[in-house]
């Protein structure tokens, strides 16, 4: 609704924040975005990398994810790096849980910490035609997000997504 106007449609696709009464909280994720003026030590000065600290290596139930991007990706000024450390929260002290990942980064110029709730839809959406995604989890490789997109497509259309129908010309500027 916008003023006196009402938009109507046959299906709605949305994230959990739009339909809080139709989702269930299943946990929390902590993310720490860090600004660095150097690459992560012991990565051969890699301008980008991903490190996954296995749960068992640090006595946890969930892995810790570390990712790094840099000025080569046009996300920071030359000589600057953006790192993110994340995991699924297990205790009442989430920042302590990502310490093993933060310790890998070396000196941190600035960090920004957030804890977000994780939600999953209460149903598949087929009955009410409201198709809800899951919240973004702690992973840094987008595998679970891609799986969620394929799942919501399947729920909404009744079909699997056919990647063979996707045509892309890498020389096309559009």
Give pLDDT tens digits for 114-126: 999 999 999 999 9
Q: Is residue 166 part of a domain?
A: no
Q: Residue 163: its pLDDT value, please?
A: 92
| Gap between the Cα atoms of 144 and 54, Å rounded | 17
Q: Is residue 139 part of a domain?
A: yes
Q: Is residue 101 part of a domain?
A: yes
The predicted model scores a pTM of: 0.89
Structure confidence by residue, pLDDT tens digits, 46-84: 999 999 999 999 999 999 999 999 999 999 999 999 999
In contact, 68 and 58? CB cutoff 8 Å: no
Q: Average of pLDDT values for 88-116? A: 99
pLDDT band of 172, cuts 50, 70, 90: low
Q: Is residue 73 part of a domain?
A: yes
Q: State how many domains the chain has.
A: 1
Q: Is residue 131 part of a domain?
A: yes
Provide Rg for the chain, Cα atoms.
20
pLDDT band of 174, cuts 50, 70, 90: low
Q: Is residue 148 part of a domain?
A: yes
Write out the E strands in 45-80. 49-53, 64-70
Residue closest to 114 by CA, chosen among 100, 98, 103, 101: 98
Q: Is residue 6 part of a domain?
A: no
Q: Is residue 107 part of a domain?
A: yes
**The CATH number of the domain where 78 resides is what?**
3.30.519.10
| Gap between the Cα atoms of 84 and 86, Å rounded | 7
The whole domain housing 67 covers 12-159
| Gap between the Cα atoms of 36 and 86, Å rounded | 16
């Amino acid at each position: 609704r916008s003023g006196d106007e009402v938009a109507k449609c046959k299906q709605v696709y949305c994230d959990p924040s739009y339909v809080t009464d139709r989702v269930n909280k299943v946990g929390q994720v902590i993310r720490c975005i860090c600004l660095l003026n150097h690459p992560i030590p012991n990565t051969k000065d890699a301008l980008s990398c991903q490190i996954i600290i296995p749960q068992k290596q640090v006595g946890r139930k969930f892995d810790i994810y570390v990712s790094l991007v840099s000025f080569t990706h046009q996300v920071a000024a030359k000589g600057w790096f953006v790192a993110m450390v994340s995991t699924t929260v297990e205790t009442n002290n989430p920042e302590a849980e990502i310490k093993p990942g933060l310790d890998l980064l070396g000196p941190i110029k600035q960090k920004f910490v957030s804890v977000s709730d994780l939600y999953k839809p209460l149903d598949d959406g087929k009955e009410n035609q409201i198709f809800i995604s899951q919240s973004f989890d702690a992973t840094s490789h987008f595998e679970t997000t891609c799986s969620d997109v394929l799942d919501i497509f399947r729920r909404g259309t009744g079909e699997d997504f056919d990647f063979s129908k996707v045509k892309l010309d890498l020389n096309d500027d559009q």
